Amino acid sequence: MITATSGGGLGDRSDGLPRPYRVASLRQENHRTRTVILDGPVDAEPGQFCMLWLPGLDEKPFSVAAASPAAFTIAAVGPFSRAVHALAPGDRIWLRGPFGRPFQLQGRDALLVGGGYGVAPLLLLASRALAAGHRVRVAIGARGEGDLLLADGFRQLGIDPILTTDDGSQGQRGRVTEALAPLMDADPPDALYACGPHGMLAALADLAGKHRVPAQLSWEAYMRCGIGICGSCEQDGLLLCADGPVLVDDPVLREERS
């Protein structure tokens, strides 16, 4: 029942080689997350990712947080992300992509759900959805207050996000899926768009399925080559870097196939 979004082949592969950008600015988002804003745009749709490269160090995939100019919201979790945090305005960074299949707006009423670092691609989706005239609601979940990400960014778009934390330090205590159950009962959206940990996405797929709401879920995986060769991001016969990262879970299709 989980299928790739529409599109030819395994995605557009015209942007093959790394392209040099410069860092325009860095913005601290929470205690371990910064958004690196570059000096030029990237022709990306919400949910797509780019490979960021620092020659001699490493190259890693990051979802596109903003397209014009290109921006990436990155948590410092390893040598590469710490090196990105340490970049200064004017420093070089290279990217190739965008890669992967994006979110595709369905209907007129969108519910965006982000867990942990999975909030990163949703700000771009929210702004595109608003521009397309959608009603946009947002829910953000995190472990604790300090881990909540990009809430102010949504507020700047005029969206007051529902906040949940596992420890109750801000917003509702508990999982974001629990907080959404009453909303899904009272006023379900036309489609649910989510990015976050696998457990959260599986729970959201169930919740959306119960309400017969299509879910577009962006699955996080270890993507090595980023272009569908190495196989490291395989999930159920799909390559998340090329067939995903956004996969559609459509409850109507699910019933037809079961």
Q: Under the rule (CB under 8 A), what is the footprint of other proteins?
A: 9-10, 13, 16-18, 20, 51, 53, 55-56, 58-60, 92, 94, 96, 224-225, 227-232, 234, 236-237, 239, 242
Least separation in angstroms between residue 198's CB and other proteins is 17
* Spatial distance between the Cα atoms of 65 and 151, rounded to a whole number of angstroms: 14
* Spatial distance between the Cα atoms of 199 and 206, rounded to a whole number of angstroms: 11
Q: Which is nearer to other proteins, 58 or 255 (CB)?
A: 58
Least separation in angstroms between residue 82's CB and other proteins is 16
* Spatial distance between the Cα atoms of 109 and 99, rounded to a whole number of angstroms: 26
Sorted by sequence, the CB contacts under 8 Å of residue 18 that are 6+ apart come out as 51, 53, 59, 94, 95, 96
Least separation in angstroms between residue 231's CB and other proteins is 3
Q: Are 99 and 51 in contact (CB under 8 A)?
A: yes
* Spatial distance between the Cα atoms of 221 and 36, rounded to a whole number of angstroms: 22
Q: Which two tokens stand for residue 153?
A: 């960014």
Least separation in angstroms between residue 244's CB and other proteins is 13
Q: Which is nearer to other proteins, 11 or 196 (CB)?
A: 11
Q: How many residues does the chain have?
A: 258
Q: Which two tokens stand for residue 215?
A: 């879910």
Q: Which is nearer to other proteins, 236 or 256 (CB)?
A: 236
* Spatial distance between the Cα atoms of 198 and 216, rounded to a whole number of angstroms: 13
Q: Which is nearer to other proteins, 55 or 168 (CB)?
A: 55
Q: Which is nearer to other proteins, 96 or 128 (CB)?
A: 96
Least separation in angstroms between residue 236's CB and other proteins is 6
